Amino acid sequence: SLFRLKDLEVAELRDSDVHVKMLAAPINPADINMIQGTYAILSPLPAVGGNEGVGEVLEVGRRVTALKPGDWVIPADTGLGTWRTQGVFPEDMLLKVPSDIPVLCAATLSVNPCTAYRMLADFETLAPGDSVIQNAANSGVGQAVIQIAKASGIKTINVVRDRPDLPKLVERLMALGADHVITEEMLRKPEMKDIFKSIPKPRLALNCVGGKSTTEMLRHLQPKGTMVTYGGMAKQPVMVPVSTFIFRDVRLRGFWMTQWKKDHAQDQESLTSMIDALCQLIRRGQLTAPACTEVSLQDYRTALEATMKPFMSSKQILLL
């Protein structure tokens, strides 16, 4: 097995360090890919898994001014290694978050909601009444897209894979504020025209699947619209008909949160204003944590296995 639970000494606290007691950390698909060695970032081994989570500050080094004991913090960047009970980290690897939001919201804040927020903001200028289409709409990012869009008055068309408990999933996404939930098969059906009687065709498509359903999704994009790819769950390329490029001039872009953070390393304001905006939505009840299953660190094997199952509609969260 690639994983084992280990007891480590907590490193000594240097002047710019922060001693953190971890509270909760999710298991994301990218965390697993990193461990399998199929991700763009590889940690030198042995490494602590986990790129996301929330912790409470226990103690700070002499030079640390922005944080104090009792504050809540999340990783500022990828590769922190959050699947642990405690850790000592340099201050600049942590971001303070308010401690008055639910712990599961804070634990799942730094990757998926940030990805959703950026993709909705950075590629097309969307106004209330505009629409967005996305696949894997029940993923962590998908659920955040639905809620952030809803809070801004943007309509969402949400594509999911057909499954045994489809009505239950549709109901759950509608409760989050989805306007339409359809299966991949429906993308090819004439009924799609009915959707566009009440809302405009999307200018923005968000793709984390690839393969045939992505090509179908593109067909519904407005001329000059943008499709942003941020994942490839089907492990198949994105195929685009030549006519789509020539006659509809669509744009294909990519997004990776880790890269965005690198590009904005000198611009802390852009990161903190995004976190503030997301925390505001959480406080108003407009952004919730994805459906979660809470697991103790001792049961990490069960949680890892569950994360790799198909149609997993609940995110595994390690309670530390």
Comparing CA positions, the residue from 66, 107, 110, 109 lying closest to residue 90 is 66
Residues of 98-125 as b/e, b for ≥16 C-beta within 10 angstroms? eeebebbbbbbbbbbbbbbbbbbeebbe
Contact 66/16 with Cβ under 8 angstroms?
no
In whole angstroms, what separates CA 143 from the centre of its chain? Answer: 9
% helix, strand, coil for the chain, step of 5: 35, 20, 45
Query: What is the spatial distance between Cα 116 and Cα 95, in angstroms, rounded to a whole number?
Result: 19
Query: What is the spatial distance between Cα 95 and Cα 72, in angstroms, rounded to a whole number?
Result: 8
Antiparallel, parallel or unpaired: β 251-254 and 226-229 = parallel
84 token code pair: 């642990």
Number of Cβ within a 10 Å radius of residue 290: 22
Point out the residues that are catalytic.
39
The beta strands (E) that lie in the chain are given as 17-26, 54-60, 72-75, 86-90, 94-97, 131-134, 155-160, 180-183, 204-207, 226-229, 251-254, 292-296, 315-319
129 token code pair: 């009444």
Q: How many CA atoms lie within 13 A of 176 on its CB side?
A: 31
DSSP string covering 116-129, please? HHHHHHHSS---TT
Number of Cβ within a 10 Å radius of residue 184: 18
